[in-house]
Amino acid sequence: ARPAPSRPPAARPAARVRTGMKNINYLQPRLQVTVGTTIEWTNNDPLPHTVTATDKSFDSGLIPPGKTYRHTFTKAGTFNFFCVPHPFMKGTVVVRAQ
């Protein structure tokens, strides 16, 4: 009798976090995720916003009202971000290794 063929481990589904902006604020200014997570920021305000990393590692460009920006975090670290038109809007994403 031959041993049953081994199966590769099941792929872990990619994590997704939904958040956004409202009343000229980020809804979740501090997020903790694991590597591979995609964060979706939806602009719920009547004016455009950005999600711009202070280290320039990601930048949404202007997100019009009602539109969404997605970014997948591929490495661990702490990423500070802000809104270019409203620099008082600030946030942090902490990305942990899996």
* Tokens standing for residue 52: 């711009």
Q: How many residues does the chain have?
A: 98
Q: Quote the pTM value.
A: 0.85
| Longest CA–CA separation in the chain, Å | 69
* Tokens standing for residue 45: 């305000």
List the end-to-end C-alpha distance of the chain, in Å, as a whole number: 38
pLDDT tens, N- to C-terminus, the chain (98 residues): 665 555 555 555 679 999 999 999 999 999 999 999 999 999 999 999 999 999 999 999 999 999 999 999 999 999 999 999 999 999 999 999 98
Domains delineated in the chain: 16-96 (2.60.40.420)
CA atoms within 13 A on the CB side of 5: 2
